[in-house]
């Protein structure tokens, strides 16, 4: 385990510990929801809203569960019985939902991830779980892309990783400019994907070929 990975793990652990240390109580969270309901112009004491603060608190525990999960254990188990396979592994169309850290409004989309294994591969479902861990936090799409590729690259140490994320942001669709259907695409590459443009093209072609 090299210094970069150790630093990554320490940073993630410190983030989770700091979050836990300052985490408000359930009662404080529910009181905050009642305040927001009143600020929006409704009566938190009316019948239809009486249990809303409890429901919102429970929903937040699920929607932001990524703060209480670490990616290292998920990618720690790999499999070596892959014969002579050393080509690209692609996991496509990984659906996710996250929340914009600027407005706490959802953005929803799909992640497409590829890597070139070195002697060992990771279970395919583990890649999807990595996406979920980071998506279930307050995010920007750019940071989400960077976090996913960094943890895969540092823990699996493949010959290269490619990540493409496409998403629709409700902060653009529901408020502000209100542009329905606008899609944001982010990409990032490491190793052979970064150094060889032909591998980037092959990755993109595989995604287009699947859709066609």
Name the residues annotated as catalytic: 100-103, 141, 169, 171
Answer yes or no: are the C-beta atoms of 184 and 143 closer than 8 Å.
no
What is the SS3 assignment for 76? Answer: coil
What is the SS3 assignment for 139? Answer: strand
Q: Which DSSP symbol is given to 89? A: E
Residue 99 marked in a binding site: no
- DSSP calls for 21-47: HTPPPHHHHHHHHHHHHHHHTS-TTSG
Residue 100 marked in a binding site: yes
- DSSP calls for 144-196: HHHHHHHHHHHHH--SEEEEEEEEEEHHHHTSTT--TT--EEEEEE-HHHHH-
Residue 143 marked in a binding site: no
Which amino acids are annotated as binding site for Zn(2+), given as ranges? 100, 103, 171
Bind-site residues: 100, 103, 171
């Amino acid at each position: 385990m090299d210094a970069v990975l150790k630093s990554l793990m320490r940073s993630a652990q410190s983030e989770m510990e700091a979050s836990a240390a300052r985490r408000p109580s359930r009662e404080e969270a529910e009181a905050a929801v009642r305040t927001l309901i009143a600020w929006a112009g409704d009566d938190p004491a009316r019948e239809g809203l009486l249990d809303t603060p409890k429901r919102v608190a429970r929903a937040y525990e699920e929607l932001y569960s990524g703060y209480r999960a670490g990616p290292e254990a998920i990618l720690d188990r790999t499999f070596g019985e892959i014969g002579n396979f050393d080509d690209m592994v692609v996991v496509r169309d990984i659906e996710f939902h996250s929340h914009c850290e600027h407005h706490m409004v959802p953005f929803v989309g799909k992640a497409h991830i590829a890597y070139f294994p070195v002697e060992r591969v990771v279970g395919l479902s583990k890649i999807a779980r990595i996406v979920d861990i980071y998506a279930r936090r307050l995010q920007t799409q750019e940071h989400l892309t960077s976090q996913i590729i960094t943890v895969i690259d540092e823990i699996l140490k493949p010959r290269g990783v490619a990540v493409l994320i496409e998403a629709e942001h409700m902060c653009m669709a529901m408020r502000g400019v209100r542009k329905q259907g606008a899609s944001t695409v982010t990409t990032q590459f490491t190793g052979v994907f970064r150094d060889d443009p032909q591998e980037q093209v092959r990755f993109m072609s595989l995604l287009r070929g699947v859709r066609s």
